[in-house]
Every structure is written in C-alpha cells, then in structure tokens.
Amino acid sequence: MKIRDKVAVVTGGGNGIGAAMARRFAAEGARAVVVADLDGAAAGRVASEIGGVGVAVNVAREQELVDLVERTVATHGRIDLFCSNAGVSIGKGLDTSDADWEKAWSVNLMAHVYAARAVVPHMLERGEGYLLQTVSAAGLLSISDASYAVTKHGAVAYAEWLSITYGDRGIKVSCFCPMGVRTNMLLGSVSEVDQPALLAAAVEPEDAAEAIVQGIDAERFLILTHPEVLEFMRRKGADYDRWLKGMRRYQQQPQSTQS
C-alpha cells in the first residue's frame, strides 16, 4: 500500500517512533495524519509540524479509541491506515506489581484489541484497510522485562489472528517488531536487562519509520529494524530448547541488541 492520499491514524504519536512515523507519512503525501497521544500537547506539536490533527487519547480506555475512530471517519470520510503504536515498559521482573501488570496489559495488548474493534468494521464496510501493530522484538524473543515481553508476545498473536481472520476480506496487517530504537522509552529505561544492551545497536526513530514505510509498501506482515531477529526465530522453530539456551546467553551479553 502506498501512503500517498491515505488517511492515517497514529497512536503514541507524540514522540519516538510514532512521531517519526507521522512525519514520514506526511512526507509521503498522506491525505491526512491524525496524531493521537496520552500527552495531547505533544500530539499537537507533531501535528502542527505536518499539517495534521493532534488529539489527546488514552489507549487504555476503549471509549476514547472508539471516539477517535468515529471523529476521524466523520472528518475525513475514512481511515485507510490505523497504527496502534502506543506502548509502555515497566522495567521489572518477578517484582512487577499487579497494578503494573494491568497497566502493561491495557496499553501493550488491549489497546490493539480496542482499536481493532473500533476500526475493523469500518474497514470491512469499505472492503479494504490496513492495520499496523507496533509490537517489539521482545514479543518474538521473550526477552526484556517480564510484563513487556509477555504482553508484547500477546500482541504478536493478536496481530497474527487479525491477519488470519480478515486477510481474505481486504484487511491487511503488519506487525512491527523493532529491536533497540533511540526513543524516550529506551533512553529512560530502568530495566537492568534492556537499556545498556539495546543502546549498543540502536537505530533512530527515522530508521524505524523508513522500515515501516517499506514494509507497508511491500505489504509484509513482519516488519523489522534488525534482520537478525528473523534468524533467531528460525532457530526457535528448529530447536526450541537450544534456542532458549541461546536466548539466556544473548540476554546476559552486555553488548547484545535485544528489545
């Protein structure tokens, strides 16, 4: 799918990958870009740069996503591309509290569910539409902090389910699984596992946006910033126990590039 003349919505668009994505979509000639973020001021700043629309949205609240979809369709007539990009990292392991598990669950997984519930019926009526789910290599490799890895793992499965269920009905799905990207989430990470290792081979948000645009153009399900992730996945399918041992070693290496 080409971005030109498309109506795109980007959640978590106030900074990081989401902001880079919104800017890139505008540069590609999108008809309209709606920038949604919990920080409405940040969304507004990005939107003002690109001639888009900035809105404050808490993706953990389903009604706010329903309202976002309805307002966008009412204003622009359609949504061609919905990017569920917002995410949260807690940075803890066994000591993750129930409240933090709930926060990770709501933002990293249920926000994708809420968005799909709101926008897929609209896309089905038109017979076409595109969903981009920003997940993480952590969702494929089960590394990073506990709640992040687990909820992102679920988000991968949900993206797969969406593609399997609606792929023959005009709905295209891409699952974006970056490794280290120089965003506020990474630079401010408190995870002893994540931050030093990820920074070693981190890419810029603009590089992530480039990968996304190329992936959407090719209509690929799995979009990566670091191609070695695919090799890790091949090893997982070939020998699960050996792969687990490899992931233990990989996670312990201070110069690794996990996410």
Q: Which residues are catalytic?
A: 148
| Nearest residue to 9 via CA among 29, 34, 32 | 34
| Nearest residue to 33 via CA among 22, 24, 42, 43 | 22
173 φ, ψ (degrees, to nearest 5): -135, 135
| Nearest residue to 198 via CA among 225, 174, 176 | 225
CA pair distance 185, 17, nearest whole angstrom:
10
Angle at 163 between CA 173 and CA 75, to 5 degrees: 45
Q: With contact defined as beta carbons under 8 Å apart, do 94 and 45 qualify?
A: no
State how far Cα 200 lies from the chain centre.
Answer: 21
| Nearest residue to 259 via CA among 179, 150, 140, 149 | 179
Residues in Cβ contact with 188 at an 8 Å cutoff, skipping those fewer than 6 apart: none
Cα 100 to Cα 85, 198, 245, distances in angstroms: 19, 22, 28
Q: Helices marked H in 28-61 — which ranges?
A: 40-50
